[in-house]
Amino acid sequence: MTVNGSLTPGSIGSAQNICYNATPAGLAPITLPSGGSGSYTYRWQSSTDNSSWTNIDGATSDTYAPGALTSNTYYRRAVIDASCGTVYSNSVLITVYPLVTVNAISDQEGCVNTSIPGVTFASPTSGATFKWTNSNPAIGLPATGTGNQPQFTALREGAATITVTPVYNDCDGTPRTYTITVHPCVIPVNPHLRSRSIP
């Protein structure tokens, strides 16, 4: 597009999708301004709606590298020529995937040689998946896994911290932890006597 008959704004980068609080790639020019008097200055602007624009402090180069983002943001570059005025490049949208979380998870308890129920994880974000780690595989649950925590047979007394990390669009979200505690199995030896622990 030619503005004022002589100055063209050039174009900048392309749309990007990034994880929450991640840093997008720099917005390098695809084409540079042309025409005008040749004495260009630049000013980068950002917007949340691609309509109302705000100047970015200190962003006066032909390229711009945004910092970490937590919400969708549009960018454009103003090209200013002393003789021809100001023209604007195309706008580019940086889409930020939402920060995915895990719903609350209750702690679990059980006895050695008994079945510990599985746990179904959930998230407010539709389409989220899950990966988890177990701090104490000796209790009978594997050290790592994906999806829900499976049911397992407790093998040994002890406590384990399970850390669940939600994943959305290949972006890790906020982890949540819960505890599985395995106690020694206690069986009655006589209805009139106290129970005893299996050694």
Q: How does pLDDT run across 14-43, given as a tens digit for each residue? A: 999 999 999 999 999 988 888 766 678 999
CA atoms of 37 and 49, how far apart (whole Å): 32
Q: How does pLDDT run across 69-83, given as a tens digit for each residue? A: 999 999 999 998 877
CA atoms of 170 and 173, how far apart (whole Å): 10
pTM: 0.79
DSSP, collapsed to helix, strand or coil, labels residue 139 as: helix
Q: Maximum Cα–Cα distance for the chain, whole Å?
A: 103
Q: How does pLDDT run across 153-197, given as a tens digit for each residue? A: 999 999 999 999 999 999 999 999 999 999 997 655 555 555 444
- CATH architecture of the domain covering 11-96: Sandwich (2.60)
CATH number of 108-187: 3.40.718.10, 1.20.140.10, 3.40.50.10320, 2.60.40.1080?
2.60.40.1080
